[in-house]
Structure 1
Amino acid sequence: MPVSRIAAVEAEDEKLVVLARATRVRTGAAEGAALRDLDGRTYAAATVDLPSLKVSALGVCIAMAVASGARGAEAAVVLNEGAFLESELVPLREFAGAGVPVHHGGPNGTIGDSHST
């Protein structure tokens, strides 16, 4: 899977960074994510970490998009303190196909690397 370091983020994707960061800060969650669908709608979410339910922030974004009737995704952002898990790309690829960029960065919103489904 393609990975680039210190990726340039387009202006539209910067909006996703702002949403992911704000969601993470507001909830105090381990990670925040945001996704833009093919119609330009955005979904922002935080990690769900309950004893009976654990879902990554990107997983919640994907679920929200699917539940809203989205037909695919243009881009996504994941912000956390750790490394990006390549396994996060699997559900996004199932939903949106190949070639969707996923920018990964730290809690402050600085993007460190980008991946593609």
Structure 2
Amino acid sequence: MPSEALDPQDAKLITLARGALARAEASSAAAVRDIDGRTYAAAEVELPSLRLSGLQAAVAAAVSSGAPGLEAAVIIGADATDPGVAAVTELGGPAAYVLIADVRAQVLDRIGGDR
């Protein structure tokens, strides 16, 4: 699935995730979009006392900001085994989806969601 074929809102999520990845100089990052269209991005957190994947951190930011649900997410530098995928499904239900992309913004896979 080439990035140029992406919905503009999904392309925006990739841009936000790439920005979080670069700012934090991390190996993975993510961005999510809630059902109201607001977006949240985060990189992985690796502290001695706290470990979160980028997707977990982005979901936590959305939830702590009052997001009523999620509709989409993008992960860069991680895969379908990311523990945040379950949180996206939990908050968004079966219609929510996660795009897995590489650092060049190429979508490698899609998990969930109505097609």
With structure 1 as the length reference, what TM-score do the two structures score? Answer: 0.86
CA contact (8 A) 2:55 2:85 kept: no
Any gaps of 5 or more consecutive residues in structure 1? 1-5
Identity of counterpart residues, as a percentage? 39
The letter of the residue matching 2:80 is F
Residue matched to 1:54: 51
Higher RCO by CA contacts (8 Å cutoff, separation 6 or greater): 1
Bigger fraction of residues in helix: 2
The letter of the residue matching 1:50 is L
Q: Distance in 1 between matches of 2:25 and 2:85?
A: 24
The letter of the residue matching 1:18 is T
Q: Distance in 1 between matches of 2:79 and 2:9?
A: 23
* Matches for 1:70-85 after TM superposition, within 5 Å: 70-80=67-77, 82-85=78-81
Q: Which is worse superposed, 28-37 or 89-98?
A: 89-98
* Matches for 1:25-64 after TM superposition, within 5 Å: 25-64=22-61
Structure 1 residue 86: deviation in Å?
5.7
1:94 aligns with 2:95: no
Residue matched to 2:106: 110
With structure 2 as the length reference, what TM-score do the two structures score? Answer: 0.87
Structure 1 residue 54: deviation in Å?
0.4
Q: Distance in 1 between matches of 2:49 and 2:19?
A: 26
Any gaps of 5 or more consecutive residues in structure 2? none
Change in Cα spacing, 1:66 to 1:83, as seen in structure 2 (3 Å) is closer
The alignment covers a number of residue pairs equal to 111
The letter of the residue matching 1:84 is A
Q: Distance in 2 between matches of 1:105 and 1:98?
A: 21
The letter of the residue matching 1:55 is L
Q: Distance in 1 between matches of 2:105 and 2:54?
A: 15
* Matches for 1:16-27 after TM superposition, within 5 Å: 16-27=13-24
Residue matched to 1:3: none
